[in-house]
C-alpha cells in the first residue's frame, strides 16, 4: 500500500466554482446556505451525515467522516458560477422550479448575490439553449485565458485559500476522443485553431487544471475525460473526477443490479423510460445531447453484470433507456423500470419500479461531497483521476486499460477505505474471523 500522505489543514475559505447555474447549481447553493442557517437538513450528503467505522466491531469507534478527516467547514464555502443565462441565484432557482418559495425566500438576498460570470458557451454544443451572457474571444485558447483570469480574480476578490470546480452545465452533443485530445500540445494547438472537437466544457476543465483547481464533471460529455487533460492533472497534482452525477434511475440500477447478481438471478431485459420537463430535459430532447447521456446510462448494467463471465444469466440481456421531454412535470420526473428476471429452473418474474424522483435533490449532495472530497484530495497531494469518488458518478473515469466499477456497494467500500487510509487507519476487509478465535 502507498504511504499515507500528509494532509494540509483545511484553513481559510474554499471557493466552489460551478460552470452552469441551473437546477443542480442553484439547488446546491441554496441548500448549503439553508444548512448553514439551520433552515433545512442536508440529507444525502456523506460529508455531513455519515459515520465511518474504524478498527474492529468491538472497539465502538465510529466518528462522523467530517470529524475523522479535516474537511472544509460549510461556513468557509463561497460560490462562483458561469452561465450564458444571466439570472442570479434567486431568479434561476425560481425558474428551475426545484425548491419551493418557503425555502428560497428566507435566503433571497444571499441567492441574489450569486451572479453568473459570462460563460464560454457555443450553441453548436448545446442546441436547445441560448443566452446573452457569453464571452467573446479571438479563439478557444483566448477564451480559456479569460476563464483563467476569472478564476484568479474570484480567488483574490473572495479571499479564498483554495478552489474547486464542478461542471453543472448542460449535456453537450456527443463527441469522441480524437487526435486533438491526445497531448497538452495538441489540445492547445486545437484551441488556437478553433477546432470543433474542443467543446466548451473541455475549455473549463483545461482552465481549472492549469490553475491547479480540482475539477469534476457532473454531465456525461467528455470534458476532462481526455488523455491530454488527465496527464496534465496527474503531472500538476490536480484531482479529477467524472462523469455524470449518479442520480435517479441509474442510482436505482446500481443499487438493484448488484443484488440480482449477488443472488445469481438471470436478467432477460431491463426497460427504462423517463418523463421530465426541466431545462435538462429540453436539452436532452436534442438527439445529439441524448446520445451522450444514453451512452453514459447504458454502460452501467454491462459492467455490473459481466455478461462475458455469466453468459447464461446476462448474455442476452436487452437494455433500453428512453428520456422523454414532458414539460408539465418540470423537475419532478418519473422514471419507470420494467425488469424481466429469471430464477430457479428458468422461471420468469417481473419487477416494476416507478420512481417519482427529484433529480436535482439527489444531485445537490453529490456536488457538495465532491467539492469537499476533491479539496481533501488536493490537500493530500493526490493528483489525477480519483477513482475512489466513482460512487458519485454514472460513468466513472478510470486509469487507461481499467474497466470502471459501477456496483454502488463496491464503490462505497472503496470510498470509505480510501478515507480510512487517508486518516491512517486500516482498511476494512469484513473478513472478521478474529471474532470467532
Contact (Cβ atoms closer than 8 angstroms) between residue 412 and residue 370: no
CA atoms within 13 A on the CB side of 298: 13
User: Considering the complex, what minimum distance in angstroms separates the CB of residue 86 from ligand NAD?
Assistant: 10
Nearer to ligand NAD by Cβ, of 72 and 171: the residue is: 171
The CA distance from 150 to 152, in Å, is 6
Residue 59: all three cell numbers together: 472497539
The CA distance from 314 to 318, in Å, is 9
Which residues have a Cβ under 8 Å from the Cβ of 220 and sit 6 or more positions away?
A: 171, 243, 244, 292, 293, 295, 296, 394, 395
User: Considering the complex, what minimum distance in angstroms separates the CB of residue 362 from ligand NAD?
Assistant: 6
Nearer to ligand NAD by Cβ, of 280 and 421: the residue is: 280
User: Considering the complex, what minimum distance in angstroms separates the CB of residue 324 from ligand NAD?
Assistant: 15
CA angle 114, 120, 124 (to 5 degrees): 125
Nearer to ligand NAD by Cβ, of 190 and 284: the residue is: 284
Contact (Cβ atoms closer than 8 angstroms) between residue 216 and residue 389: yes
What is the DSSP annotation of 244-285?
Answer: SB--HHHHHHHHHHHHHHHTT-EEEEEEEEEEE-SHHHHHHT
Report which DSSP code applies to 4: P
Nearer to ligand NAD by Cβ, of 59 and 354: the residue is: 354
User: Considering the complex, what minimum distance in angstroms separates the CB of residue 330 from ligand NAD?
Assistant: 11
User: Considering the complex, what minimum distance in angstroms separates the CB of residue 432 from ligand NAD?
Assistant: 36
List residues binding ligand NAD (CB under 6 A).
Answer: 19-25, 82-85, 96, 119-121, 126, 129, 131, 168-171, 200, 218-219, 244-245, 247, 278-280, 283, 359-360, 362-363
The CA distance from 89 to 78, in Å, is 13
Nearer to ligand NAD by Cβ, of 32 and 54: the residue is: 32
Q: Which residue is nearest to ligand NAD (CB)?
A: 22
Contact (Cβ atoms closer than 8 angstroms) between residue 128 and residue 186: no
User: Considering the complex, what minimum distance in angstroms separates the CB of residue 395 from ligand NAD?
Assistant: 10
Nearer to ligand NAD by Cβ, of 54 and 122: the residue is: 122
Amino acid at each position: 500500500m502507498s504511504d499515507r500522505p500528509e494532509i494540509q489543514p483545511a484553513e481559510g475559505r474554499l471557493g466552489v466554482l460551478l460552470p452552469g447555474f441551473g437546477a443542480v447549481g442553484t439547488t446546491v447553493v441554496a441548500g448549503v446556505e439553508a444548512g448553514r442557517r439551520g433552515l433545512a437538513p442536508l440529507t444525502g450528503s456523506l460529508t455531513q451525515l455519515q459515520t465511518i467505522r474504524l478498527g474492529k466491531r468491538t472497539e465502538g469507534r465510529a466518528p462522523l467522516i467530517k470529524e475523522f478527516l479535516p474537511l472544509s467547514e460549510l461556513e468557509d464555502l463561497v460560490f462562483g458560477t458561469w452561465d450564458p443565462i444571466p439570472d442570479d441565484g434567486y431568479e434561476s432557482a425560481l425558474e428551475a422550479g426545484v425548491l419551493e418559495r418557503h425555502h428560497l425566500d428566507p435566503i433571497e438576498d444571499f441567492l441574489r448575490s450569486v451572479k453568473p460570470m459570462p460563460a464560454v458557451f457555443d450553441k453548436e454544443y448545446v442546441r436547445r439553449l441560448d443566452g446573452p451572457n457569453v464571452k467573446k474571444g479571438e479563439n478557444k485558447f483566448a477564451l480559456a485565458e479569460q476563464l483563467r483570469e476569472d478564476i484568479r480574480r474570484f480567488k483574490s476578490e473572495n479571499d479564498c485559500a483554495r478552489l474547486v470546480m464542478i461542471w453543472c452545465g448542460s449535456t453537450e452533443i456527443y463527441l469522441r476522443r480524437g487526435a486533438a485530445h491526445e497531448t497538452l500540445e495538441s489540445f492547445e494547438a486545437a484551441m488556437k485553431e478553433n477546432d470543433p472537437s474542443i467543446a466548451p466544457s473541455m475549455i473549463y476543465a483545461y482552465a481549472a487544471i492549469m490553475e491547479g483547481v480540482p475539477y469534476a464533471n457532473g454531465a456525461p460529455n467528455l470534458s476532462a475525460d481526455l488523455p491530454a487533460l488527465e496527464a496534465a492533472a496527474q503531472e500538476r497534482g490536480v484531482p479529477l473526477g467524472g462523469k455524470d452525477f449518479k442520480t435517479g434511475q441509474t442510482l436505482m440500477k446500481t443499487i438493484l443490479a448488484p443484488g440480482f447478481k449477488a443472488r445469481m438471478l438471470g436478467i432477460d431485459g431491463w426497460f427504462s423510460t423517463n418523463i421530465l420537463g426541466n431545462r435538462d430535459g429540453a436539452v436532452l430532447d436534442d438527439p445529439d445531447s441524448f446520445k451522450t447521456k444514453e451512452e453514459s446510462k447504458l454502460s452501467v448494467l454491462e459492467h455490473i453484470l459481466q455478461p462475458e463471465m455469466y453468459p447464461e444469466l446476462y448474455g442476452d440481456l436487452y437494455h433500453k433507456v428512453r428520456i422523454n421531454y414532458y414539460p408539465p412535470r418540470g423537475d419532478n420526473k418519473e422514471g419507470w423500470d420494467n425488469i424481466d428476471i429469471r430464477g430457479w429452473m428458468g422461471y420468469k418474474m417481473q419487477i416494476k419500479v416507478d420512481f417519482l424522483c427529484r433529480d436535482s435533490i439527489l444531485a445537490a449532495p453529490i456536488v457538495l461531497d465532491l467539492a469537499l472530497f476533491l479539496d481533501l484530495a488536493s490537500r493530500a497531494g493526490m493528483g489525477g483521476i480519483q477513482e475512489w469518488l466513482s460512487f458519485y458518478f454514472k460513468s466513472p473515469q478510470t486509469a487507461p486499460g481499467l474497466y470502471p466499477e459501477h456496483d454502488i456497494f463496491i464503490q462505497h467500500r472503496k470510498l470509505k477505505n480510501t478515507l480510512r487510509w487517508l486518516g491512517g487507519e486500516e482498511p476494512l476487509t469484513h473478513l472478521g474471523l478474529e471474532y470467532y478465535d
